[in-house]
Amino acid sequence: MKKHNFSAGPCILPQEVLKQASEAVLNFNDLNLSLIEVSHRSADFVKVMDQARSLVLELLDLENKGYSALFLGGGASLEFLMTPYNLMKENGSAAYLDTGAWSSKALKEAKLLGEVEVVASSKDKNYNYIPKNFSIPAGVDYLHLTSNNTIYGTQIKEFPKTDALLVCDMSSDIFSRKLDFTQFDLIYAGAQKNMGPAGTTLVVVKDDILGKTGRKIPSMLDYQIHISKDSMFNTPPVFPVYVSMLTLQWLKNMGGIDAIEKINIAKAELIYNEIDNNPLFEGAAVKQDRSNMNVTFLLKDESKKERFDQMWKDAGISGINGHRSVGGYRASIYNAMPIESIQVLVDIMHKL
């Protein structure tokens, strides 16, 4: 039997997507060729890439609004560097909100290219909350945020208004909730948290913000080059792009972000209610900043740990150990996680 997969990433994908993807690995579009052995310039694959990019803009409601979608290599971690390369002026500066390990890694790369102002940090409490009411220095080239902090289980609910360009790492909550995506100038997300296999990163960028830094940008790091080549400047990660396209199609068929957001809220309420009402458990993140994607919680009575661990293992649950920097447990409940699997976990917490 398939396990209840609570892994933080790479993570659960819709079962029907896995089935379609595995079929295409053997025989893609009835070509009697594998998806991963045809030219990325073939008409069949070009269609996949075009469809993936247009589904992104459609689902985010960014069609015909001056945005481009790209599927790049290098992981979200390469975007930590590409963002300043493309947006930070020579001798410029950028503001970063430090909400965890991923934000810290992002700002470290930006420091290679210019001045970085950390506008606020929640490091003092091991990143268990989202700092608010910080001020953004005038004249910065952009403000960088991490919308969902995968490790700590926190999520930004309200995004600051700013005159600076707004850049957001949405690796672990993209396509999970309704937002006005036009408030962002650049969004990036590693595929492996909510969209597809590891190996591709989605970038959504407003075209008219590019080409203004006065900086020489290496070709592979230059968003304008990738846009001009329709995300095919070099061989794209064909399999991750294909699976991402299938997942986006699955999401569209179920009613898009509006529909999945309702389900995600119900899923999160189910498990947070148990955490709050069960005296054996406590949430790791402050309530108002809790993530609807990564639910972090602690067992208050260590003597029950062995029993609890055995119970969830016996029930076919996988991937709920917390990140080493937080401890306890982390249930990642991304888009493809069925509410039935969460119910299995909640029943065990209840019985403990």
Ligand X SMILES: *Cc1c(COP(=O)(O)O)cnc(C)c1O
Size of the site for ligand X (CB under 6 A): 12
Given 193, 206, 290, 330, the residue binding ligand X (CB under 6 A): 193
Binder to ligand X among 5, 6, 9, 312 (CB under 6 A)?
9
Q: Are 274 and 350 in contact (CB under 8 A)?
A: yes
Give catalytic status of residue 312 as yes or no.
no
Within positions 91 to 120, which residues make up the interface with ligand X, using CB under 6 A? 102
169 is catalytic: yes
Q: How far apart are CA 128 and CA 171, in angstroms?
A: 18
Pairwise CA distance, residues 272 & 274, whole Å: 5
Catalytic residue among 98, 141, 169, 173: 169
Beta strands in the chain (DSSP E): 4-5, 67-72, 93-98, 115-121, 142-146, 148-149, 154-155, 165-169, 186-190, 201-206, 281-283, 294-299, 317-318, 329-332
Q: Which of 203, 102, 212, 89 is nearest to 146 (CA)?
A: 102
| Tokens of residue 176, six digits | 């999970």
Q: Does 75 participate in binding ligand X (rule CB under 6 A)? A: yes
Residue 123: active-site member: no
Could you tell me the smallest distance in angstroms from the CB atom of residue 292 to ligand X? 14
> Which residues, 118 to 177, sit near ligand X by CB under 6 A?
146, 150, 169, 171-172
Q: Are 106 and 144 in contact (CB under 8 A)?
A: yes
Query: Which listed range, 72-80, 89-97, 125-133, 218-226, lies at the site for ligand X (CB under 6 A)?
Result: 72-80
256: left (phi over 0), alpha (psi -120 to 50) or beta: left
Give the residue from 190, 150, 194, 151 showing the smallest Cα distance to 12. 194
Nearer to ligand X, 72 or 345 (CB): 72
Least distance to ligand X, CB of residue 75, Å:
3
What's the closest the beta carbon of residue 127 comes to ligand X, in angstroms?
12
Write the single-letter amino acid at 278: N
For ligand X, give the closer residue by CB, 195 or 271: 195
Tell me how far, at minimum, the Cβ of 112 lies from ligand X, in Å: 17
Active-site residues, by number, are 102, 169, 193
Contact residues for ligand X, defined by CB under 6 A = 9, 75-77, 102, 146, 150, 169, 171-172, 190, 193
